[in-house]
A and B are shown apart, each in its own frame.
Chain A
């Protein structure tokens, strides 16, 4: 099922995540930036991102989905949100 959930538009998710990150880490962020390699984000902040994504997009990120790679960039997080929202619908 690839029917778009009206609440989960890729561009909107990306924009929201960029705004959230820019505010929280006080530095400009591009969608493809590797947040961990650039030292912009600690692994602790990555934990907060898990909770933030779950609360904002009403998804559950559990088990094997919880790998650091899924939180490495805005692109990766956007993909994760879209994929898990799709699962909720279907």
Chain B
């Protein structure tokens, strides 16, 4: 009967007699058990963010978290004297998480009730239950990818990046240049594929066909000389954005067939999609081939349509489409481009392999 439980994306901790034993302002000394310390690290490694909503003196409590060696695990801590429901709401808002993906743990029934009253969708747990949280399905994502493991540090980099953007006074492109963006495109290997799987599942807005290629589909193509599976990662001076894109390319005599292009919504505002398409167009131009990209309109991928059009792709027919166009295509259309040379992006450094069919015997 029960639906799949909604995964918790952020757990908000009370401090006194929940995270640590004791009351900081009364006892002076508080202790962190090994079990709780291990729990914090375990949730972090599962890609679940953690924050703090505590009624305490901010500087005092934060200094104690630092002394205990766990401060780095907590994003956007709210330590002060306001209602906890407001703290939890502020944390959820800033993370852009829906309340139903946020959880709260506190030893005081009154505090849990206050949060539940104002935020009925936030799941509240008694401190006595906290050690069992890792057993619960809502804290157990099915797949833990490389990027999930470093989700917290990616968010922390994101906060520093947002602050920099906020205080930046000049035009858009100047800000992007100041980030020192580096895009790396590489042929996928076995370990890259789990990250790719998450990307193609999650990025419905930026998937050109809405078709989901499974891990097995892509794995089967890794060794195929007529296909390349490429992964894209992006980093800047604040840290890595992780895996942000995946391409599946099929090679034909006169045309390269872009069967899958999915990019993460997180990096759209850095111009990652346009840079990727321009690189691909330039590579095709150097190889003397046309490009044919699969596109299928879904109710969520308008941005992808625009990205293709802005890169110069059209609906026009071309003799080159005969090769990739054979076989069952359903309602998937082609976006076609006679490739031309393109300048390197002005806002990022790009590292990429030379594309093309793997030579026989290589």
Contacts and interface: CB of A to CB of B under 8 A. Distances in A.
Given A39-B174, A40-B172, A41-B172, A50 B271 contact: no
Interface string A23-64: 001110000000000011111111100100000000000011
Contact of A66 (B169, B273, B309, B346): B309
Given A42-B347, A43-B271, A67 B310 contact: yes
Contacts of B307: 43, 47
Contacts of B347: 42
Given A26-B171, A39-B171, A44 B306 contact: no
Interface residues of B, number: 24
A15 interface: no
A80 B337 CA distance: 24
Summarize A's interface: helix, strand, loop or mixed.
helix
Contact of B172 (A25, A64, A67, A68): A25
Contact of B310 (A39, A40, A68): A68
Contacts of A63: 309, 315
B94 to A, nearest CB: 22
A25 B171 contact: yes
18 contacts: A26-B169, A39-B171, A39-B173, A40-B172, A42-B172, A42-B176, A42-B271, A42-B347, A43-B271, A44-B268, A44-B269, A44-B274, A50-B306, A63-B315, A66-B305, A67-B310, A68-B310, A68-B312
Given A47-B268, A64-B315, 18 more contacts: A27-B170, A39-B174, A40-B172, A41-B171, A41-B172, A43-B271, A43-B274, A44-B269, A44-B271, A44-B273, A45-B172, A46-B310, A47-B303, A47-B307, A63-B309, A63-B315, A66-B305, A67-B310
Interface of B: 169-174, 176, 268-271, 273-274, 303, 305-307, 309-310, 312, 314-315, 346-347
